[in-house]
Structure 1
Amino acid sequence: METLGYLAGILTTIAFVPQVLQIYKTKSAKDVSLAMFLIFTTGVFMWLVYGIKANAFPVIAANAFTLILSLVILFFKFKYRKTSH
């Protein structure tokens, strides 16, 4: 069962890598919804806290990496705001 947790965590985490690369490459995050990513990032942070409290390493690992990627996307959203039309 833990293998399933790791696999799910890996897949849901790496799903954000193409988005980060696309934003970096185009220097535009205009199509990224700020509200959705703020809500999502808050949820990921809460899952990370839950994983820490539950001592569930797959939850901790997946959400720690997802949180980093999500924060990078939010950073780009603000950084490239002026170039987004």
Structure 2
Amino acid sequence: MDTIEIIGLVAASLTTSAFVPQVYKTWKTKSTRDISFTMYGAFLIGTILWLYYGIYHNSLAIILANAVTGILVVCMLMLKLRHK
């Protein structure tokens, strides 16, 4: 694995893991009042497009980051719908 791919994987890990505390807090408190459904909806569409882009270019960092981020975003949207 070359250096640039390692940098991409580290960046993907950091940016993706940044969502975990928000998902956990929302799940724990069941408070979604300050969560924007529109923002997360747009973010999900962007994440899906980035995932497609990563698959097209066979980029492990982009694929992993956006697959995991997509799952976290879907969790947030589900929590938002469940705890209105």
Which category describes the TM-score, using the shorter chain as reference length? over 0.9
Unaligned runs of 5+ in 2: none
Deviation of 1:7 (Å): 0.7
Q: Which amino acid aligns with 1:59?
A: I
Amino acid at match of 2:39: M
Report the aligned-residue RMSD: 0.6
**TM-score normalised per structure 1:** 0.93
Per-residue CA shift, 1:42-73, capped at 9, x if unaligned?
00010001101111111001100000000000
**5+ long unaligned stretches in structure 1:** none
Among the aligned pairs, what percent are the same residue?
Answer: 44
1:23 aligns with 2:26: yes
- The two structures have a TM-score, normalised by structure 2, of 0.94
Counterpart of 2:44 in structure 1 is: 41
1:75 to 72, 75, 78: 78
Q: Give the aligned length.
A: 81
Aligned to 2:56: 53
